Chains A and B, each alone.
Chain A
Amino acid sequence: MKYIDEFRDGKLARGLAQAIRAEVKPGRWYNFMEFCGGHTHAISRYGVEGLLPENVRMIHGPGCPVCVLPIGRVDSAIELALERGVTLCTYGDVMRVPASGPLTLMKAKARGADVRMVYSTLDALRIAQGEPQREVVFFAIGFETTTPPTAVAIKQAQALGLTNFSVFCNHVLTPAAISNILESPEVRKIGTVPLDGFVGPAHVSTVIGSQPYEFFAEEYEKPVVIAGFEPLDVMQAILMLVRQVNEGRAEVENEFTRAVTPEGNEKAKAVVAEVFELRRSFEWRGLGEVPYSALRIKETFRNFDAEARFGIGYRSVADAKGCECGAILRGVKRPEDCKLFGTVCTPEDPIGSCMVSSEGACAAHYTYGRFRGGAARRTG
């Protein structure tokens, strides 16, 4: 496939791997966090870590909107479907997220709830139009990439005059999450987990642009390189980060020039600003309360806000005992450090957020990297 296969080329990979090896300073440790779950997936799926020198360590960040979805919100969605009789439309990723019970949307479906997996908000709208007698709720999740499609759907529902369509909004924001990590005590304190730089998300950046990351580079003096989605992009970004660290720079660089501009997608940003506004605070699974990190539907579109329509309250539900997701999401611990990993907590029966989605650090490691277990602990 064009613009995909070329960016997975093995020969070019070897070339970049050699370049990285040639430029890392021996004895110096490089710790980079790839924020985006898609990057975690690419790194695992293509075995990128095996091509990097030993002193470059990739830390898997919390950029997986499924993983950070708090249990209480999933409980509410399940309740809507199971007890309030709505037709709940959801992306496939959320179907097996374990909530209280432990119930999942998939299990709720087995109990008779009308849960329907959709590929796009357009499908949910179509269902609402086609079944006017049913209350249709779209379970919206995702970072800035996935938010504009929800905004368009709400506007379209308004234009169509739909009275049976609403959105349960759980959209979250990337910069706020990055701040949270950088502010966490383990990172701030010198000597625990030094983070030398970030691999910035690919598709979030096509929407928000490269400009928002300049704040992090300046405030926290950490380089950010926005990388495309394919493994070659990630390797090139790592090379650019190594160079910045070696040269003592802390800038925002863009590797994904074919789809990311400094200002991003103005049209998409505008439609999001029209429909959504910031929540003062939002609980992230594993990270706790993060200020100004999530969106809610504006008053003008109240008719399409499932929280208003169904009076959904919020209950904070704690993670399971022994679950180390919080520490893993911040890069303080590794999946193997968690007592539940691989025993009680597996992709088949996930306990915590890091195992839930195939991009969570624990799921990725279990599925793709378990065979490397027992490798010498790398520190920085």
Chain B
Amino acid sequence: MGGTVKPGYVRPLDVKRGRVDLSHGSGGRAMAQLIEHLFVRAFDNEWLRQGNDGASLPALPGRLVMATDSHVVSPLFFPGGDIGCLSVHGTINDVAMVGAQPLYLSASFILEEGFPLGDLQRIVESMARAARDANVPIVTGDTKVVEQGKGDGVFITTTGLGVVPDTVCVAGDRAQPGDAIIVSGPIGDHGVAIMSVRENLSFTTSIASDTAALHGLVAAIVQSAPGIHCLRDPTRGGLATTLNEIASQSGVGMVLAEEAIPVRREVAAACELLGLDPLYVANEGKLVCVCAAEDADTVLTALRAHPLGREAALIGRVVEDVHCFVRMETVFGGTRMVDWLSGEQLPRIC
């Protein structure tokens, strides 16, 4: 009998050249190793270190808020971010948009067989960084592996828990005629950043995704003006879709001033090139705030004092309207409707 089994020896995960295979999802040793060496090591907190199926959390003060988001973005890596930090920011923001302070996150991964472990590590480390910077730990999670061809590399679902104080009541149906409509910064960055790396639409630009955790920004607003009516982050479908949603939920109309809406020069240029309207392009680090007219200045000051809200702008007013139309005074002087997005906005030649 030759050779002895070295006690306690486990062949380390080959992150450099290894790929996800079905054993990583089967519940056996390979999966345990993947979880331990990749996820737990990166996310590193007391709950994960306990190694239980679920995280036992302390009692939380205030009303509970829960939000969940699935992330299927393609490409996985783009200027300014990746699917990892996007998934952390996205759910933190959903919780924050109800005026709540996000406290804990969970993360589940669906991995495609053959996905490079190196890429997975990059994504996981990005998530860990985002969670650490936001001070919101990822306390529990799950991993599954699907056969090659049945997934787009990796899908991530994050769920967040938070608390909202009783003095705050932020909801989509609270907009009232006379309210001010404020946006926290220039729109369209994320969508353009994604398009710039999509094949067949290649153009070079320095635009990076604006993906960011907005709970600090929200806290600043809520502290200075606790009576704000609505908060929402204009992700898919862009600012136009978000405003139509709020208008619809609240049973009001809106009038915007095009020249007041901040758009970066390069974003405007990229949209011109492709025939897109920046109003419908996705954002991942911006918010819309609807508040009473008398609170507008306070909100703007609070936003502009925060690094993520320096270019905040007042872009319109809520009005009475049975049709719940969102209208816009164009830079040109005429008025047009800003309708719901129909289908997906595709680059056009006409």
> Which chain B residue has the least Cβ–Cβ distance from A10?
B333
- Contact assessment for A93 and B342 in the assembled complex, using a CB-CB cutoff below 8 Å: no
Indicate which residue in A50, A92, A357 contacts B334 across the interface (CB closer than 8 Å): A50
Q: List 7 A-B pairs, Cβ < 8 Å.
A: A10-B333, A66-B350, A93-B348, A119-B347, A346-B342, A369-B337, A371-B325
* A368 interface residue per 8 A CB criterion: yes
Complex contacts, A66 vs chain B, CB 8 Å: 350
CB-CB under 8 A from A299, the residues of chain B are none
Q: In this complex, what residue of B is CB-closest to A67? A: B350
The answer, yes or no, to whether B332 is at the interface (CB within 8 Å) is yes
Q: Is B327 an interface residue (CB 8 A)?
A: yes
Q: Is the pair B346, A119 in contact by a Cβ cutoff of 8 Å?
A: no
Closest residue of chain A to B259 (Cβ to Cβ) is A10
Q: Is A264 an interface residue (CB 8 A)?
A: no
Q: Is A146's beta carbon under 8 Å from chain B?
A: yes
Chain B interface size, as a band, is: 20 to 34
Check A4/B336 contact, CB under 8 A, given A117-B347, A119-B200, A348-B342.
Answer: no
Is there an interface contact between B332 and A48, defined as CB atoms closer than 8 Å?
Answer: yes
B332 engages A146 (CB within 8 Å):
no
- When the two chains form their complex, are residues B339 and A370 in contact, meaning their CB atoms are under 8 A apart? yes
Instruction: Tell me if A134 is interfacial: C-beta within 8 Å of chain B.
Output: no
Q: What per-residue 1/0 map shows which CB atoms of B247-278 lie under 8 Å from chain A?
A: 00000000000010000010011001011000
CA distance A4 to B269 in the complex (A): 10
How many Å lie between the Cα of A48 and that of B268 in the bound state? 21
In the complex, which residues of chain A have a beta carbon less than 8 angstroms from the beta carbon of B347? 92, 117, 119
* Interface set of A (CB-CB < 8 Å, partner B): 1, 4, 8-10, 13-14, 17, 37-38, 44-51, 64-66, 91-93, 95-96, 116-119, 123, 142, 146, 231-232, 346-348, 357-359, 366-371
**Interface check B335, CB cutoff 8 A:** yes
Interface residue B323 (Cβ < 8 Å from any Cβ of A): yes
Contact of A1 among B201, B268, B274, B333 (CB under 8 A): B268
- State the CA gap A48–B331 with chains docked (Å): 11
| Chain A residues with CB below 8 A from B335, complex form | 47, 50
| A-side contacts of B325, CB under 8 Å | 370-371
Contact A46 B346 (CB under 8 A): no
Most buried by B among A14, A38, A91: A91
* A46 CA to B334 CA, complexed, in Å: 6
B183-203 contacts to A (CB < 8 Å): 200-201
B273 to chain A, nearest CB (A): 9
Cβ–Cβ < 8 Å partners of A369 in chain B: 336-337
